[in-house]
């Protein structure tokens, strides 16, 4: 079972590295702001980059198509095995905020599903 945000993003990194369906369905750069932590997800079909990396809190040099703002508690609920909370539902309930491309945000279910 996933216990903390580092575990979540390590699982997400493994999922994007191993899954070919993720890179077919999801292409973009996402910054996740989880409480006081910042993570950067890249799935790029042009150069084949697929990774998740933790960023320093002051690192503002990364450009993202989408920024996801969520609490640690809500992130852990969303990625828990058997969870019925999708990113879209979390957004509609106000548990998750986004800035950027809404079309890319709609595809977050692919990433979250692979992470579970």
Say if residues 42 and 79 touch (Cβ distance below 8 Å).
no
Residues facing 39 on adjacent strands: 32, 54
pLDDT by 10s per residue, the chain, length 116:
557 999 999 999 999 999 888 888 999 999 999 999 999 999 987 788 999 999 987 777 788 999 999 999 999 999 988 898 999 999 999 999 999 999 999 999 999 999 98
Say if residues 45 and 27 touch (Cβ distance below 8 Å).
yes
By DSSP bridging, strand 66-70 and strand 28-34 are: parallel
């Amino acid at each position: 079972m996933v216990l903390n945000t580092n575990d979540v993003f390590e699982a997400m990194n493994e999922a994007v590295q191993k899954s070919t369906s993720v890179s077919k369905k999801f292409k973009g750069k996402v910054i996740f702001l989880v409480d006081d932590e910042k993570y950067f997800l890249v799935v790029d079909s042009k150069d084949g980059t697929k990774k998740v990396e933790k960023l320093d809190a002051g690192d503002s040099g990364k450009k993202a198509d989408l920024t996801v703002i969520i609490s640690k508690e809500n992130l852990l609920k969303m990625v828990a095995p058997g969870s019925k909370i999708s990113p879209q539902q979390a957004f509609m309930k106000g548990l998750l905020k986004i800035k950027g491309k809404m079309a890319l945000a709609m595809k977050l279910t692919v990433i979250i599903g692979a992470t579970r």
